[in-house]
Amino acid sequence: MKYAIFGDIHANLEGFQAILEDSQRQGCTDYVCVGDIVGYGANPRECLDIVRQMACPVVKGNHDEEAVLTTSLEGLNPLARQAMEWTRSQLPQEDRDFLKGLKLVRQVRDFTIVHATLDTPGSWTYVTNKFDAMASFSYQFTQLCFYGHTHTPRIYVKGDSVEPIEDSTVHLEMGRKYFINIGSAGQPRDGDWRVAYATYDVERQEVIIHRIEYDIQTAQDKIVAAGLPEMLAHRLSLGK
């Protein structure tokens, strides 16, 4: 049994498809999504169609939540706000119902999934250092948890202390816990333009974070053609 765990797709169909193709090459048998299917990119409905057809476990991201609200978008930065207004105009009722029905935290087999943090999952705060990770570990009741939201892959390990590791591969050991950011399938922000996802090989007890090249030009052209801010296309090249 081998899981592909992906999230922060942000309506980037080309990035998402590249990840799905790679996960098939890797022999993945099961799929899990840590949220933010929509927002920023030009293909929210297409990405939602794929995720819904996969019928895989999904948790809600802040953009998934924002996309189905009718409240003001003043809390968002201008780029996110413009993209969200456009995204809201694109989604049919059945997609809105699907997003509304998503939970914030789920347990899948022997691991947990959440979009932002385990300590305050609905507040959409960011895990950017080991102290933030420690707060989530306090609420982590499985050995392994996958999350997203920062668009930056990171593996935190809790033994006697909590530390991030630099490697993109980790072998799970008894007595330790793992809080793993799988990176973004649609808008990386760690300076690397390639999209990211993780595989979890249950038999081997091994998690690997993968980086995948994709048809970035097409994704960027679609953003501009949709009338979305050009910066949203440009930032994909920067990985920021």
Query: Interacting stretch for Zn ion, rule CB under 5 A, among 3-11, 79-87, 131-139, 167-175?
Result: 3-11
- CB closer to Zn ion out of 36 and 65: 36
**Interaction between residue 132 and Zn ion (CB under 5 A):** no
Least separation in angstroms between residue 167's CB and Zn ion is 24
How many Cβ atoms sit within 10 Å of the Cβ of residue 239? 17
Q: How far is the CB of 150 from Zn ion (least distance, A)?
A: 8
Q: Which two tokens stand for residue 220?
A: 């960027």
Q: Give, as one character, the DSSP assignment of residue 188.
A: -
Residues binding Zn ion: number (CB under 5 A)? 2
**Binding string, residues 35-74; x marks residues near Zn ion by CB under 5 A:** -x--------------------------------------
Residue of minimal CB distance from Zn ion?
A: 36
Residue (of 198, 167, 204, 240) closest to 22 by Cα position: 198
Q: How near is the Cβ of 123 to Zn ion at its closest, in Å?
A: 15
* DSSP state for residue 119 in the 8-state scheme: S
Single out the residue of 4, 8, 37, 179 in contact with Zn ion (rule: CB under 5 A).
8
11/20 with CB nearer Zn ion: 11
User: Looking only at residues 17 through 36 of this chain, which bind Zn ion when binding is defined by CB under 5 A?
Assistant: 36
- CA R_g for the chain: 17
How far is 55 from 174, CA to CA, in rounded Å?
Answer: 31
Q: Which stretch binds Zn ion (CB under 5 A): 2-10, 127-135, 137-145, 171-179?
A: 2-10
Decide if 182 contacts 5 (C-beta within 8 A): yes
Interface residues toward Zn ion, by CB under 5 A: 8, 36
